[in-house]
Homo-oligomer: A and B are copies of this chain.
Amino acid sequence: MPNPTAAMLVIGDEILSGRTRDANMHHLAGQLTSVGIDLKEVRVVSDDRSAIISAVQALSSAYSHVFTSGGIGPTHDDITADCIAAAFDTPIDVRDDARAVLQVHYDRSGTDLNAARLRMARIPDGAALIDNPVSAAPGFTLGNVHVMAGVPSIFTAMVASVLPTLTGGDPLISRTLRIERGEGDIAGPLGELASAHPELSFGSYPFQKDGRYGSNIVIRGTDAAALEAALSALSAAFPSA
């Protein structure tokens, strides 16, 4: 059975303006790979209602899962929850279960659960809450879309909350061979090996260090035996590696 597929949608003007360097994509990519879900596409869009809605609809119909990051805080530019509801044509309002989570959290610190903070309890009908052990305000899953915060520590915690609830396929394994030859010398034998092993993927990631050229060849797949066979063949082709 092929692995489930996934896309990520990063929401936020701050990434597109270059003010903030996104860290969540790299984290999610590694996590999904480790549980056997294939991340196939990432999109970054601005805090714009129609851009978010179209991206959610396109990605949720094309992939098994969609993971979003950003735009679920208390300020006026946090419009993700409402856009997800609109994308699925589902009503959204402050929900009692989410409000209760926030109430407990803010009572503890003696902070007023004012109208702005209460926006974080706006959850679409039928969505399941995603636990946020860092700052309480929950994420949610609606259909195949998992909606999470953009702050990296909270995003990471929410990914840890939601991943065990999903069914992964076979974990993707990878082996790397460092070859100290120019990519132009490696390309021929590598291409032949890739043709002989359609069940594996072969990537070449060149480097230049101390004036010497080389490349890390990464072989990926779910079949450990095929992977080892390909690695042996490649090592044999470049005995100095």
In the assembled complex, how far is the CB of residue A26 from the closest CB belonging to chain B, in whole angstroms?
Answer: 4
Q: How many copies does the complex hold?
A: 2
Q: Mark interface residues in A202-220 (1 if CB within 8 Å of B CB, else 0).
A: 1111100000000000101
- Which chain B residues border A2 with CB–CB below 8 Å? none
Interface flag for A15 (CB, 8 Å): yes
**Quick one: which of A28-66 are within 8 Å of B by CB?**
28-33, 39-47, 51
A interface residue count range (under 10 / 10 to 19 / 20 to 34 / 35 or more): 35 or more
- Which chain B residues border A74 with CB–CB below 8 Å? 183-184, 187
A27 to chain B: closest residue by CB: B18
In the assembled complex, how far is the CB of residue A83 from the closest CB belonging to chain B, in whole angstroms?
Answer: 15
- Which chain B residues border A187 with CB–CB below 8 Å? 74-76, 116, 119
Interface flag for A17 (CB, 8 Å): yes
In the assembled complex, how far is the CB of residue A77 from the closest CB belonging to chain B, in whole angstroms?
Answer: 6
Q: Would A42 and B40 be within 8 Å (CB), given that A30-B18, A187-B74, A187-B75 are in contact?
A: no
Binding site for B on A (CB under 8 A): 10, 13-22, 25-33, 39-47, 51, 73-77, 111-112, 114-117, 119, 151, 172, 174, 182-188, 190-191, 194, 201-206, 218, 220
- Other contacts beyond A73-B183, A75-B191: 12, CB < 8 A: A13-B201, A13-B220, A18-B26, A18-B39, A19-B218, A25-B44, A76-B187, A76-B202, A77-B203, A114-B185, A116-B184, A119-B187
